[in-house]
């Protein structure tokens, strides 16, 4: 029987960071809790913070479940996490500059060339080009799980356009609105300066040809996209235009947006569309979302694109296993955050081990995301395991496997009252001229009893994440 680290209760006592919440929960009768929960849901729906799940039909304006019980870190715990996350963000960016440049890490034999240069996410189109300030990934979302008081593991890195930061901000907004007393009694670090920091980060990587205050825009695939709310939310808080591909056009060496006063030059594009759709002349010719000619302007230094095209090669699940090597190679430091031990099914020995131990392991597709296409061995039936085995054998290099981690739990409001549920954490590290991290992040919680899958598409919810001021 696996034991899970409970972040609030340890040996029958309340751990320090949660001390301020003990009285709060004891004093909350069920009817008040239900009333508050209903109030939160109504508020979320009214402000329109909904998300759509592709391909599932049903309500297109689905709410992500919000759990009112906060997840808490002490200042000391956070300080260590922050160091580890920033270290990782620096190493990942150094890796990207390297593999689109001289490829030292490959020459040194630390990463197989095939894994880098034949990677789907490797963009030949930007080979030899170094973006402003040497930054490829300007927002690094690092998914972290906890298994003990001091044990943190990185599950995966998101170097392209990690989403969910609006939930971090709205969850906090909601908690402050509904439970102002909690914020008076506990000293909780604010997160609401994130949009301002993001804007500063983006402005700091303006292209060399930009001589004035840079014009920053967010490029969205449009209002049918499941994360559209977040795109418009961030644009609003940063005070920048939210544009679609049709609003931009290339003329000569620059990119312009169509405005009621004629064309206006754009210097920095925070894009929330995939590489493949950015520029139909360079990537997918059938893309209606991008801007023809954008890549030429980008490569000649007329506009900055964040994250830089090609950044995805650093967050591939197969490249992930080499991140600790990157930290040592580029920074000369020991990694502060641990990687989860990973077996690559592409290698025969690993494949053998994986297929013999499927019932114990979590198996994921190398390019999968959103909790789809994965097997959680201990939670699966024999038939499911056998079906998955066949899929692995058909294409071994498409899979990696990891031990089933004993994800920590935090108290969560459930129908019967309060019960432990498994959580993970996604902080958002900003990389520009400086590296910054707001004290907090998105805590996702698996609301189904016993479930280890926190993805919103699979019954996951979100919580407010507190970092206590020292």
Q: Does 57 bind another protein (CB under 8 A)?
A: no
Token pair listed for 53: 């799940």
Least distance in angstroms from the C-beta of 257 to another protein: 6
C-alpha 440/C-alpha 189 separation (Å) is 8
Token pair listed for 435: 């590296």
**Binding segment (CB under 8 A) for another protein, from list 11-19, 225-233, 313-321, 397-405:** 225-233
Q: Does 262 bind another protein (CB under 8 A)?
A: yes
Q: Are strands 66-73 and 460-467 parallel, antiparallel or unpaired?
A: parallel
Q: Does 250 bind another protein (CB under 8 A)?
A: no
Q: Does 58 bind another protein (CB under 8 A)?
A: no
Least distance in angstroms from the C-beta of 312 to another protein: 28
Q: Does 235 bind another protein (CB under 8 A)?
A: yes
3-state secondary structure of 271: strand
Select 43 or 182, whichever has its Cβ closest to another protein: 43
Least distance in angstroms from the C-beta of 265 to another protein: 14
* Cα–Cα nearest to 65, from 468, 433, 469, 445: 445
Least distance in angstroms from the C-beta of 293 to another protein: 17
Q: Does 292 bind another protein (CB under 8 A)?
A: no
C-alpha 231/C-alpha 444 separation (Å) is 20
* Cα–Cα nearest to 255, from 299, 201, 202: 299
Applying CB under 8 A, among 244, 267, 316, 424 the residue interacting with another protein is 244
Applying CB under 8 A, among 126, 174, 243, 438 the residue interacting with another protein is 243
Token pair listed for 191: 């997160």
Number of chain residues interacting with another protein (CB under 8 A) = 25
C-alpha 341/C-alpha 334 separation (Å) is 16
- For another protein, the binding residues in 205-224 under the rule CB under 8 A are 222-223
Q: Does 48 bind another protein (CB under 8 A)?
A: yes
Binding mask 4-43 vs another protein (x if CB under 8 A, - otherwise)?
----------------------------------------
DSSP state of 63: P
C-alpha 456/C-alpha 315 separation (Å) is 21
C-alpha 144/C-alpha 251 separation (Å) is 43
C-alpha 269/C-alpha 206 separation (Å) is 9
**CA atoms lying within 13 Å on the CB side of residue 459:** 10
Q: Are strands 254-259 and 374-376 parallel, antiparallel or unpaired?
A: unpaired
Q: Does 316 bind another protein (CB under 8 A)?
A: no
**Binding segment (CB under 8 A) for another protein, from list 33-41, 189-197, 244-252, 283-291:** 244-252
Radius of gyration of the chain measured on its C-alpha atoms: 22
Q: Does 60 bind another protein (CB under 8 A)?
A: no
Q: Does 288 bind another protein (CB under 8 A)?
A: no
**Binding segment (CB under 8 A) for another protein, from list 110-118, 241-249, 368-376, 431-439:** 241-249
Binding mask 179-198 vs another protein (x if CB under 8 A, - otherwise)?
--------------------
Q: Are 89 and 431 in contact (CB under 8 A)?
A: yes
Token pair listed for 427: 């902080």
Interface contacts to another protein, rule CB under 8 A: 45-48, 222-223, 228-229, 232-233, 235-236, 241-244, 246-247, 257-263
């Amino acid at each position: 029987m696996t034991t899970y680290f409970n972040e609030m209760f340890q040996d029958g006592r309340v751990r320090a960071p949660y001390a301020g919440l003990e009285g709060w929960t004891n004093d909350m009768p069920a009817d008040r809790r239900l009333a508050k929960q209903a109030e939160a849901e109504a508020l979320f729906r009214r402000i329109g913070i909904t998300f759509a799940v592709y391909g599932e039909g049903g309500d297109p304006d689905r709410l992500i479940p919000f759990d009112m019980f906060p997840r808490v870190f002490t200042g000391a715990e956070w300080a260590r996490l922050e160091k580890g996350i920033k270290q990782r963000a620096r190493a990942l960016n150094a890796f990207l500059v390297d593999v689109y440049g001289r490829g030292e890490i490959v020459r040194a034999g630390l990463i197989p060339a095939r894994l880098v240069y034949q990677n789907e996410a490797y963009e030949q189109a930007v080979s030899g080009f170094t973006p402003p300030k040497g930054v490829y990934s300007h927002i690094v979302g690092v998914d972290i799980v906890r298994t003990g008081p001091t044990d943190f593991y990185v599950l995966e890195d998101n170097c392209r356009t990690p989403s969910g930061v609006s939930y971090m901000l709205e969850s906090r907004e909601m908690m402050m609105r509904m439970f102002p007393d909690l914020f008076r009694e506990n000293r909780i670090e604010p997160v609401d300066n994130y949009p301002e920091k993001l804007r500063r980060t983006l402005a700091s990587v303006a292209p060399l040809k930009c001589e004035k205050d840079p014009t920053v825009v967010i490029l969205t695939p449009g209002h049918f996209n499941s994360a559209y709310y977040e795109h418009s939310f961030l644009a609003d808080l940063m005070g920048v235009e939210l544009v679609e591909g049709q609003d931009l056009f290339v003329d000569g060496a620059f990119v312009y947006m169509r405005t009621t006063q004629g064309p206006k030059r754009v210097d920095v594009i925070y894009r929330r569309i995939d590489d493949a759709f950015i520029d139909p002349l360079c990537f997918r010719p059938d893309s209606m979302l991008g801007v023809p000619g954008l890549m030429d302007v980008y490569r000649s230094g007329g506009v900055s694109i964040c994250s830089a095209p090609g950044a995805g090669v650093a967050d591939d699940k197969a490249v992930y296993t080499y991140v600790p090597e990157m930290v040592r190679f580029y920074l000369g430091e020991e990694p502060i955050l641990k990687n989860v031990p990973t077996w690559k099914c592409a290698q025969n020995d690993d494949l053998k081990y994986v297929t013999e131990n499927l019932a114990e392991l979590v198996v994921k597709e190398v390019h999968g995301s959103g909790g789809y296409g994965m097997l959680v061995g201990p939670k699966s039936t024999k038939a499911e395991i056998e079906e998955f085995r066949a899929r692995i054998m058909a294409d071994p290099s498409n899979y990696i496997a990891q031990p089933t981690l004993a994800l920590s739990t935090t108290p969560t409001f459930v129908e019967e009252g309060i019960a432990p549920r498994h959580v993970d954490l996604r902080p958002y590290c900003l990389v520009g001229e400086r590296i910054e991290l707001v004290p907090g992040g998105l805590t996702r919680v698996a609301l189904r009893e016993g479930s280890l899958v926190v993805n919103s598409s699979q019954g996951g919810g979100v919580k407010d994440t507190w970092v206590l001021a020292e």
